[in-house]
Every structure is written in structure tokens, then in C-alpha cells.
Structure 1
Amino acid sequence: MSVVDRHFAPDIPVTEIIAQGSPSLNQQIYLRLRLALSLNLRRQILIAVSDDPALRSQLATQLETDLAIELNPHGSRFTSFALNLDNPDVLDQLQPYLNPESGVPNFQITGIDRLTRQPVHIQRIFLESLTTIAQQLGNLEFNLVLWVTRPWCRAIQQSVPEFWQWRTGLFEFEGDPFGQDQIQSQPAPNGSSNGYRKFKLDSELADFVVASVMQTVNLDDQTALVNVLETNNPDSEPLRILQQIEDLHQARSSAASLAVPYRQLGDWYRDRLDPVRPAAEHLTIVIRAYEQALKLVDMKSDEVPDLLNDIANLYWIKARSGSGSVVTNLEKALKAYQFAVDRTNPEHQPQTYAMIQNNLGSVYSDLALHQSPEENLQSAIDAYRASIQARPFETDPARYAATQNNLGTAYWNMAQHRAPVQHLQAAVEAYNEALRYYTPEHEPLYYAMLQNNLGTAYWNLSRCDQAVQELAMAEDFLHLAIGAYRVALIYRTLEAAPLAYAATQNNLGTAYWHLANQQTTHYDDRSIHLLCAIDAYQEALSAVQYLEAASTPHAPPLSFDLSATHHHIGLAYYQTAIDARTELSLSDRTKFLHHALRHQVRAAQGWENQPEFQKSAVGQFSQIIRGIYERDGIQGQTQALSQIPPAFLGQVMREL
């Protein structure tokens, strides 16, 4: 059974910031790194990741100090190097210090982040040297720590996979996103007080921007950037904003003045993010730019909640795009949203407050997929309800309806963990409330989505013993589910929404199959329901073939288990074929049995990594073949056995 549609419509376009790791977490990561080196093992490749230059320098210095003491009893040494930017060949730089008679040498390389401003051919020397290390690692008796930023970590992973696979440890440190430690109140240069605060220019942000523009305009040398600026190339706009920021820093302008171009820089990149696959490099730039803006604006300003909401939304985008740790990015999004909620008055700013609570609920819902589902889903429900209370239907019906749909889905998910009847009833109520706005004339696809969600909630109620005992018969809930699915399919057509069409047809087939197998279903209706299930499943499979033929590299995945579809349609074909009351000819019954076998084989092959499910499909093989033998003799049985994959043939022969 496919999961309920997860429709999430952010209230506004989004933006993001660099998140804060707790000091205790960084300390734990540092202790793991130090322990890995103090064990005096050989051929360790350790990658330490931090986007905070000050933190990176502090940790590298501390590591050198600690290990100089800890490694001395073993006769080993620990040496730090700043990468030679004229010739960034790591192995060449280490070669003079590789003395096999002086214990296991340990090296750490810093300054790799400065490669960002170097020409491409210089960067290539560094990456090629890592390939050489990977190829010769069996003969190299040393340990190596590379201090890198996240962009360089991704570059190594993607460009030098043979080196990346030899890594023995990855240590990701976090900086302080909301900290104010870089900002100090000072008098203005003229001695007056104009709100000036000493603020250090984010040099890494400048590096990211320069590298981004060079890549966009296809340049290998930074000196050519001057020509790009002089030609007023629109792609060089980030450079102009960056120059403005540097000028304001040099003029010691006020914090409020500095915040404006940082926000403009983030907006420029945010507006150009690919909505399907946003570039990780561009997300990083937006993060850094908004981080700087947040540090500069007055925290009592009305601008702060919107900025924090943008920051959190971008973390949510980052989590869904697969850039970095999903859980870490979701937790950063939660932190920013919670900061925003704390700084928003629901009475004076109801729309902003409702928007942030809705977005907060969506992140809690996503986090529930990875950890503490009941706790996070309850937090999502609370956030959605707070949003609805602040923004009722009469105020903003479209966003009210979107939040009601999100609330219904959160209730549906909670029903999978506890109190199913209570939460499924609440889901039905929320979906019906959303239908106050989503009508087939106004929003046909959203209307169909809600009908599909309603159908799934009713189907789940049919599976709850408590609901069947206290509310209605399972047959009644299944009829409600089928009705909702069929309404959805009026608007969810193959042409308009092929992926959604396939999911709803699959849901419809499952509802019919369960209805056919209810004890209360009349035997005359049973065969009709099975044939309807077969038709719906066939439509779902045809839609999948259509999607595969027209697939794109980034096509979204199916929301249902295709192997389960094959298994259920196989059961429906078999049950129809052996039902004496079904009006089928002998030849049609045999065809149905062959169809049943073909689909069960597909199910078994698809469930290769799910042995319990595969067992269910394989268990049908011998029953179906017996049915074929009874109707078509040894010739039919031989033909059926030829369809069985060799891996399953022995088991089938034993059962026969």
C-alpha cells in the first residue's frame, strides 16, 4: 500500500545558513580523531572537515600539541604542514620526512581551502597527488590527516574516488552559526558612534563566490575576472556585490549597511537555485551570506523572523537534496525555525507566525522518518495546529488548506505507531477540512491528492480491529476508500500526473483485493472485486512502463512497492482462475494461471533483498503450477516450469 502523498508547499521561497555544532559534540569528534592517531596504527587516511577557519586552525594546533606528547613513547612523530600552493603535490611535500627507521610518521596538511583561489591546473595537481597516494598506499608507512572544508571534501569524494575509498575516518566539525563572537562594538573611525561594529570579512565566502563565477563563465585564471567585470557580464553580479562588501568593510560602515549586500548576495544565488537539484556550492554561498546578514542585523528587527525562516527553509532543501547529513541539516532547520518562532509575536504577526509553524511541522515530519518518530510526529502535529490557529480559513484559505493536508498526513503517520483509530479519524477530519478550499474546478490535482489521502486513511481504518468493532464494518471502510480513489482518478490521469496515477491505481487495486477477501463479501461480488483489482493493478503497471520509457535522469521514485503490486495481481489472477463461480472458459483460466505465475516470478525477483517477502511469492509457484497441470496436463506444467528462475527451481520441484 503506498504511503499518503507528502504534499509540502513552503509559504515563501527559501534561503539557508551555516549551523551550529555544540562544543561538546566538537570535543567528542576531536577526541575520536586524536585517539585514532594515538593508537600508532599504519596507513590511516583521516579527513577532518570544518568550514570555520578559526576552529580549523585551533583544532589542528591542539592536535599537534597533544600528539607530540602521546606519540613520543612509541618513537613516532607528528608533523604539520601548510599545503605548498606552488606545487600542491602532497606526496612530494612529505617525501623528505619518510624515514622508515624513525617510527610511524604522522602528518597533517592544512591550507587546502586556499586552493579555491588557485587556477584549475594547480587544483588538479593536488587531486592527482591523492590518486598517487591511493595507488601506492600499500607501500607507504605513514598516517595522514587532511584538513578540508565541506566543498573540498565533496570535491575529493567525487573527483578522487580511489583515494576516498581508502579513508579510515571522516571527522566533521561544526562552526557557530548564530554566535556573535566575531562582532565587537567599537567607535566609528571618526570617533563618533554610528552603530559600527568590527566585523571580519568571511574570506571563505569570497573564495566560494570567486570559484562559482569562474566556473559559470568558464575561466581557468582569476586574472581574467577583471575583464569579465569590465564587460558587465550579468554572471559577474556576485563579484560586484562582493566588491561592495569589501569596500564597506574597509570604510568601517555600520552593521546595518553591511547586512544589505550580504542579503543581496544570498538572494542572487537563492533566486537561481535549481528547484529539483540545487547545486551544493550555491547552497553553501547562500548559507554563508545569510549567516553574515543574521549576525549584522538588529536581533529585535522585524526582519529577523523572515531571515531565520529563509535560513531554515534552505537547510530543509539541503536535507532533501541529499547534500550532507540529512539528520544534521534537519536539526539545523529546526533550530533556525525555533529561533524564529521565539522572535515572532502571533498576535502582531499572525501570518509570519503561522508560516513558520507550518514549516516547522514539515521538518519535524521529515525528521520522524529518521529518528524518534512518535516524539517528532507529535511535535509536527503541535506545530501544524498552532499554524492553523494563527491562520484560520477565513484569513488565508489556500495556506490553511495546505497546512490541514500536512496535519492530516502527520496524523496518518502517527497512526502507524500508536492509537491508530484516533489518529486516522483525525487524519480524515483534516483532509476533509482541506477540501473546503481544494475543489476540482479550482485545484484539480490537489483535490485528487486529498481524495487519494482520504482513501488511504479509510483503507487503514478497514485494517484496524478496534475501528471495525466500534465504528463500521471493514467492508464499509473499503467502499469509502474505493470511492475516494475513483474520484481521485478522474483528475489524476496518466497524461496529467503519471506518477500519481500509478500510485492511486495501485491503491485502488489493493482496496478491491482486500474487499474481495472479506468474509462478509458475497461470493457473487467476490469475483467482480478480483477482476476490478486486476484491472487497477494492470493500469498501475502500464503507467510504470510509461514512466520508464519517458524517464529522465532525476525522475522521482515510485511511492509504492512494485514487487508488492506484482505479488497482489498474481494472487488476484490465481484466485479468479480457481474460483468455480467465475464465468471464465477453461482456456482463460489457464491463461490467468500463467499470468499469476509470471507476476509472482517478478515479485520474487524484485524481493531479492527481502527474504521474508520473497518467501511469500515463491510459496505461490507450486500451487499455481499444480493448477496449470490440472487444466493443461504435463505439457502445461512443463511450460510453466520453464518460467521458473533456476534459483527457485529446486524448491519448486521438491514441493511438486
Structure 2
Amino acid sequence: MNWQIYQRLKQALSLNLRRQIFIAVCDNQQLRNNLVENLEVDLTNTIDYTEKTPNNNKNILFVTLNLNLNNPNPVTQINQWFTENPEYKKTQEYQILGFQIIGIESLTKQPSTVQWSFISNLKKIETNLSTLESSILLWINRPWLNTIKKSAPEFWHWHTGIFEFEGDPTPIAPRKNKSSLPNQQTSKSSLSPKISPPSINTVRPLMALEQKSYTTIDVESKNLTVHLLPPAPQKLPELPIGIDQEPENTPLPKWELVELANLVWSEISRKSGEEKTSLEKQQFQILKQIQDLNKSKYPSPELAIAYQALGDFHRDRVLAGEVSEQSLIIAIRAYEMVIEWTFEDAGNMSQFSPSQIPVLDILNDLATLYWMLSRQIKSSKSDSLVYLERSIILYQMAIGEINPSQEETYARLQKNLGLAYGDLANYQEAEKNWQKSVMAYQEATLYLDKVTHTQDYASTLNNLGTAYWNLAQHTQAVAHLQGAISAYTEAIDYFTPEIEPLNYAMIQNNLGIAYWNLAQFQQQPSETLMLKAIDAYLEALKYRTPEIAPLACAATKNNLGTTYWHLAKQFEEHQIRSQLFHQAIAAYSEAVNIAQHFSPSELTFDLLTAYNNIGLAYYQIVIEANITSDKDSQMSNLESALNYYLLAYTGWQQTNIDAVEEKETTVNYLVRTIRTFYNKYGIQGQNVALAKIPSNLLPKILTML
């Protein structure tokens, strides 16, 4: 799909119409960078002119400019480019096909005055466009797309076409293609490959995946089971593969080439029509070249380059969103052959220049491919562990190949390593691997430029906070939770909620969780920490609404209910406690109402536990009430508690036969509530309660009474 959209965009630009405004939307900066570079290459000196055309000797140029954040006016910047490069005004020699503007997403971290200056300049497009002869292509992400639609309708009215690309964020770096564009741009306007990590945001799901992890906490004698959502880490790219150990120092056996061909054919067989024909032609040309070169007794750069071409082909398909297990496996096997030939001996290394075989990039890609494989649904636990360990080793090998000037690449690899160690902690040596994850993220933040890679820096801080949070579950809880709070707090400063609302809300939710956890470890009353947690949750809920992000909204509402419940226990005054219990019920109820529209597998909190917690809050309100309290309202609260307990019990009975402990706990809650009915309203009250008990549960309840 991305390929088709790219072809349409290229064709539209190739028409060479004057004063056209095109918009390209891509959340994944890595994919965006690849597309930008491809356009620059494809549209430079590539327009066909017939012999009858007098201008067939012209140099056709398509120029890339980084948005000037000091004066964010694309038209002014284009005119300034002509002033700085007057030779390109010679229309008999040059033809400027158009300008593509990148870096608009960087406005997110600029002051609001700068952002509105950009919007204001867009609104003046009708006037400014008259000073321009070329077309403009703006590269934006979806948050900015929505902002421009709402805030600059004048500009939106003038745009010619919109091209939306899909792709998950990924740290796989694009390999630099040689451009046929003359070196006419200054360093400010030239586009160099940039590594953009998970845009938390994350992106297909713009919000990072939130892991499911539960903590059970005993509250005095009332066992409130708390299922809090742990902080969501920034999700990196995904890829997969399992490979048998290759024989050392032996030429490639024919069976390996046959296996590779079978994998390629298996992948092609999934397609149909013109796409299948195109895939067959491209890939089997590469395989034929590999077969011919493989007949030689000695390795050659051409053979390694051919394997790299096959790996790149499938890697690029994955980057474009076409992820399949076959593509991942083919890319891994092809890249491993490149590494095998390259490192086989010093003689081979001397044959390859870095531009021919970019070893560092290939090691990074291999590591990421293995990391992605470890997350494949089909992978077994043992396979996933093997893939993760290979991923970590390859990232470490890549780090060993870096020279001191490659700070950006070093930071990217450390960030990837941090995520891999975090995944490994879920399989073995949790404390040790979370410590390594923290160290890797810390190292990454030291080498990331906060100004030029603001989003990357912020997402790394979010990951660091999540690693600290997980480490706190194993050792030095207070110190590491404070580290998580510090990281989340700094990360928030780099997000503007109006531009990136879901990413901003995600980190606020993470911050609330960290404050809540820290409150549990304080010996003195911790109202302050719980109030900070509530403030963070409420801030998150401004943007995590039921309409925009229902599942995330429900999760945060559940967290908010739990925090209100615990905050109530910190006060002695009954009226305050009762108000907070009511607020807990309201938050839990909203979470439950949303959750009922989704399957349990889609939820990131336990719905049945939420039912129990609502019941506990209603029961606590009755216990806290004084003698003069309205008896009808107390009866209503007791009935509500009973109803929610029964919802939880019935749910466990129907969906999870192994939930013995949960069912027994809920039965005890039911018995306690029925006794309270009797104590307050006598035998008549008890009969009201017993009438609600299902017939299959009634005998057990009666024996316990």
C-alpha cells in the first residue's frame, strides 16, 4: 500500500504543475526519511522529455528543506533558498520541480508562539503562493494534520492532494542512497538519514502498548485487590527469525540457497496479480545472481552485496508495514550471510569498503529483526529467549563497531539494547536485566541531542522511567520509583498535549502509577503522593477520553478509582472518607462501563476485580456511616455492594474455573455483607440479601452464616 501511495505522489509531482500544495502524512520518521530521500533521488533529472522539447537539456531538481524554526514560513524559506543559490534561477539550465519541507514535527517542542507563527503563515498561503513558481510538499505527522485542518482552514482549502503513509516507528536506520541531485544545498537544508525511534507513541496505535501486570495489596483487614496498570514503555520496531547454527569456515552449501529460494517462493505465493509478478521478477533476479556468484570457490564483494540486496528488499517491505514471518526470516538469513562472508577472515574484510557493506547498519538490523521475532505470537517461550539473547549480542557487536563521532547511532543502539534487556527480564534474572536496561537507557540519554531529536529523547526518558518502575518491583523500591518519577517528569516537558495528546496522556498515566506505588512504601501518611497521582491521572483523562481512546481511558479510570480508595484510608474524618469512597466508585464505574464494550483480552486491567473493588467501596461507605445516617441509602449501598460481588463471582465462575482463591474471597465478602444486612435490618434485611444469591451458591452461603 505504501508503495502505491508513493508512486501516486511521485507521479503527481512529476506533472510539474505550478503552485501546487501537496501534503504527505507519515508518523514514522524512519519511513518518512526513506520516502523523502527516494523522492529527491527519483525526481532529480528523471522526467522524460521528447526530442522535440527545447528544454531537454535542463537539470531537473527536487529540493529538500528543513523547516526554519526561527521563522517557520515555508514560502519565505523557499524564496531565501533562491537568494542563496542564484545560479538555479537560470531557467535555461535548471528547472526546480518542487520543494519538500521536513521537520514540521519539531515545532511540537517549540514555544506556542512559534507554533502559532507557523499556523499563521499557512493561513496566508493565498498571498504568499503568488511569489512562488514551484510546488510544495509538506511532510507532517497525524497530530499536525489534525491541527492544520482545524486551525488553518484557509491553507486546507488550497491544498491539492493528501498522501497518507502507514508504518510503525522503528530504529532500523535507512542506508544512504547516492543521490543524483547536484550538491547545491547547504548543510542546513540537506537531508541526512535520521534515526527516529518509536514515536509513542508510539504510530499505528499511537499509544505505546501497555503491559498487563498486576499487584495485589492488602489494605488493613479489608483485602482490596488492586490491579494497577504498570507504566507503558516506548515500543520499538518489530521483526522475527530463527536460524540453525551455520557450519564455520565453509562455503555456502547448496541446500542453504535452496532453503532461501523456498522461503522467497513461500512469501511470493501469499500475493496475487501484478504484485506477485513484480515480486517474482525482483527477487528471483537477486537469487539468480547469488546462485551464479556462489559457484566461485572464493567469496567476493559482489556475492555479499547480492545477499545484502535480498536482505534490504525484505527489510524495506517490513519498514513499509508489510510484516510477515517469511520476510523477516529471509532478511535475517540474507544478512547473516553478509556478516559471515565479511567476518570470515581479514582477507574478506579488506575487500569491502564501508559504503559497499555497511556492517554497523546490518548488525543493528539483524538485532532488531531478532528482537521482533522474539515478540511474534507464534514464537514459543524458549524460542523467544534465544532470539532475545541473539538480539542483545548483535546490538553489543554493533556498539563495538562504532567510532566516537557516531553519537546518534550509539544512542539509538543503546536505546534498542535497553528495550531488549527489558524483554529479557520477563524471562530470566529480572533484577539483573532491568538494571542493564536502566543503564542502557541512561547511556542513550547522554548522547541524544535534546534539540534536534526531541521526540527521541522524550521517548527514551519514558522508557527509562518504565525500566526504573520495573526494577523497583525487585529491589530498592523507593530509590528506583523516585528515579522513575524523575524520568517521567522530565519527559512530560517535551510533549505538548495539543499536538501529541495521547503520548502526553500516556506519560501522565505512567507518572500517576509511579506516585501511587511510591506512596505504598512510605511509613508516614502519604496523602501528598496520592494526590499527585490523582492529579496526573486527571490530567491524562483530559486526553484519554472514551471517544478517542476508550481502552486507555478505562485503564486510567481504574487506576484513579484505586488511588481514591487508598487516599480515603489516610483520613480519619468519616465525611471525607465517604466522599473519597464515592469518588472511587464513580471512577471504577466509568471504567467498567467502557470495559463492557470490549472482550477481556483487549483490556489492560481485570474487570472482575474492578467489580469486587466497587463492592468494597459501597460496603465501606455503609460501615463508615454514623447511626443517624439515612437507612434507605445504607440499604441501597449494601444492595449495590452485594450486586457487584455477585457480578465478580459469576464472572469467575463462567470464565475461569481455576480462580479458586478469587471466588473464595468474593464469597467471604458476600457472607460479610449479608451479616451486615442482618445486624442493621434484622431477619427481614437478611432475607432481602439472600433473595439475591443464585440457587447454586445459596447452600454454601447458608452453611457459612
The alpha carbon displacement at 1:375 in A equals: 0.5
Match of 1:486 in 2: 538
Q: Counterpart amino acid of 2:579?
A: I
Which of 420, 429, 435 pairs up with 2:486?
429
Match of 2:702 in 1: 653
Work out the CA distance in 1 between the residues paired with 2:310 and 2:698. Answer: 64
Asked if the contact 1:16–1:290 (Cα under 8 Å) also holds between the matched residues in 2, the reply is: no
SS class of match (2:621) = helix
Q: CA RMSD in A?
A: 3.1
Q: How many Å separate the matches in 2 of 1:304 and 1:582? A: 78
Aligned to 1:208: 263
- Using the TM superposition, give the Cα deviation of residue 584 of structure 1 relative to its aligned residue in structure 2, in angstroms: 7.2
SS at the partner of 1:560? Answer: coil
The 8 Å contact of residues 241 and 325 in structure 2, kept in 1 or not, is answered as: no
From the superposition, tell whether residues 376 and 356 of structure 1 become closer, same or farther in structure 2 (CA, over 3 Å): same
> Could you tell me which residue of structure 2 aligns to residue 440 of structure 1?
497
The answer as to whether partners of 1:206 and 1:242 remain within 8 angstroms in 2 is yes
Q: Name the CA distance, whole Å, in 2 between partners of 1:562 and 1:315.
A: 34
- Give the drift of 1:296: 3.6
Residue in structure 1 matched with residue 511 of structure 2 by the alignment: 454
1:7 aligned residue: 233
The worse-fitting range, judged by mean Cα deviation, of 305-314 and 535-544 is: 305-314
* Counterpart for residue 341 of structure 1: 399
> Would the alpha carbon gap of residues 524 and 394 (structure 1) be closer, same or farther in structure 2, given more than 3 Å must change?
same
**Residue pair 2:478, 2:521 contacting (<8 A) in 1 also:** yes
Equivalent residues in 2 for 1:225-624, closer than 5 Å: 232-234=277-279, 236-250=281-295, 255-273=300-318, 278-297=323-342, 301=354, 303-324=358-379, 325-345=383-403, 347-465=404-522, 468-469=523-524, 473-518=525-570, 520-548=571-599, 557-581=602-626, 585-604=630-649, 605-606=651-652, 608-624=657-673
- Call closer, same or farther: CA 1:267–1:586 in 2, change over 3 Å: farther
Distance in 1 of aligned mates of 2:627 and 2:317? 60
Offset of residue 183 of structure 1: 4.5
**CA spacing shift, 1:235–1:591, aligned 2, 3 Å:** farther
The 2-side partners of 1:461 and 1:648 are apart by 40
Q: Report the Cα offset of residue 632 of structure 1.
A: 6.0
Q: What residue identity is the alignment partner of 1:288? A: R
Distance 1:235 1:631, change over 3 A: farther
- Rate the CA distance shift 1:249–1:644 in 2: closer, same or farther, 3 A: same
- Match in the other structure for 1:130: none
Letter of the structure 2 residue corresponding to residue 371 of structure 1: Q
Amino acid corresponding to residue 390 of structure 1 in structure 2 = Y
> 1: CA distance between counterparts of 2:565 and 2:691?
29
Q: Are the equivalent residues in 2 in contact too, given 1:361–1:382 (CA < 8 A)?
A: yes
Instruction: Give me the TM-score of the superposition, normalised by structure 1.
Output: 0.64
- Distance in structure 1 (CA, Å) of the matches to 2:626 and 2:679: 17
Shifted more, 558-567 versus 607-616: the winner is: 607-616
Please report how far the alpha carbon of residue 608 of structure 1 lies from its aligned counterpart in structure 2 after TM superposition.
4.6
Give the AA of the match of 2:526.
A
Q: In the alignment, residue 497 of structure 2 is paired with which amino acid?
A: P
Q: Is the 8 A contact 2:229 2:559 kept in 1?
A: no
Mark the runs of 5 or more structure 1 residues left unpaired by the alignment.
Answer: 20-173, 185-197, 219-227
Give the deviation of 1:243 after TM superposition: 2.6
In structure 2, C-alpha distance between the alignment counterparts of 1:397 and 1:575, rounded to whole Å: 47
| Residue type at the aligned position of 2:551 | L
Q: 1:445 to 1:307 in 2, by over 3 A?
A: same
CA separation of 1:201 and 1:579: change in aligned 2, threshold 3 A: closer
Q: Give the superposition deviation at 1:289.
A: 1.9
Deviation at 1:514, TM superposition (A): 0.5
- CA-CA distance at 1:590 after TM superposition: 2.5
Residue 311 of structure 1 and its aligned partner are, at CA, apart by 1.2
* 1:350 Cα offset (Å): 0.8
Secondary structure (helix, strand or coil) at the match of 1:590 reads helix
CA distance in 2, matches of 1:409, 1:353: 21
Aligned in 2, Cα 1:315/1:524: closer, same or farther, shift over 3 Å?
same
Query: Does the 8 Å CA contact 1:7/1:405 hold for their aligned counterparts?
Result: yes
Look up the equivalent residue of 2:559 and give its one-letter code.
N
1:484 shift after superposition: 0.5
Matched to 1:182, the amino acid is T
Give the 3-state SS of the residue equivalent to 2:460 in structure 1: helix
Question: What does the per-residue CA deviation read over 1:282-312, in whole Å, with 9 as the maximum and x for residues that have no partner?
Answer: 3222221222232244768472222111111
Whether the 8 Å contact between 1:287 and 1:311 is mirrored in structure 2 is yes
Q: Deviations over 1:607-636 (max 9, x none)?
A: 752433433222111121233345666565
CA contact (8 A) 1:351 1:390 kept: yes
Whose helix fraction is larger, Structure 1's or Structure 2's?
A: 1
Per-residue displacement from partner, 1:111-133 (whole Å, max 9, x unpaired)? xxxxxxxxxxxxxxxxxxxxxxx
What is the DSSP-based 3-state SS (H/G/I as helix, E as strand, rest coil) of the residue aligned with 2:565?
helix
**Identity across the alignment (%):** 39
Task: Say whether the 8 Å CA contact 1:280–1:323 is kept in structure 2.
Answer: no
Map of 1:142 onto structure 2 = none
In 2, Cα distance between equivalents of 1:388 and 1:343: 20
Q: Give the deviation of 1:433 after TM superposition.
A: 1.3
Range 559-568 or range 409-418, more displaced:
559-568
Counterparts of 1:492 and 1:360, CA distance in 2: 30
Q: After superposition, what is the alpha-carbon deviation per residue over 1:520-574, rounded to whole angstroms, capped at 9, x for unaligned?
A: 35322111111110011011111111234xx9xxxx6322222321221110011
Q: Is the 8 A contact 2:286 2:309 kept in 1?
A: yes
Task: Please show how residues 5-84 of structure 1 align to structure 2 within 5 Å.
Answer: 5-10=231-236, 18=242
CA contact 1:368–1:377 (8 Å) conserved in 2: yes
CA spacing shift, 1:646–1:381, aligned 2, 3 Å: farther
CA distance in 1, matches of 2:465, 2:390: 25
Q: TM-score of the superposition, structure 2-length normalised?
A: 0.60
Contact 1:424 1:461 in 2 (8 A): yes
Structure 2 vs 1, CA of residues 391 and 624 (structure 1 numbering), >3 Å: closer, same or farther? Answer: same
1:638 Cα offset (Å): 4.2
Flag structure 2 segments of 5+ consecutive residues without an equivalent: 1-226, 344-348
1:437-478 CA distance string (max 9 Å, x none): 12212321111111111111110111003xx44xxx311111
1:210-268 CA-partner distances (Å, limit 9, x unpaired): 222234349xxxxxxxxx89x94446533333233324434789633223332332333
Structure 2 contact 315–331 (Cα < 8 Å) conserved: yes
Q: Is the 8 A contact 2:550 2:594 kept in 1?
A: yes
TM-superposed deviation, 1:316: 1.5
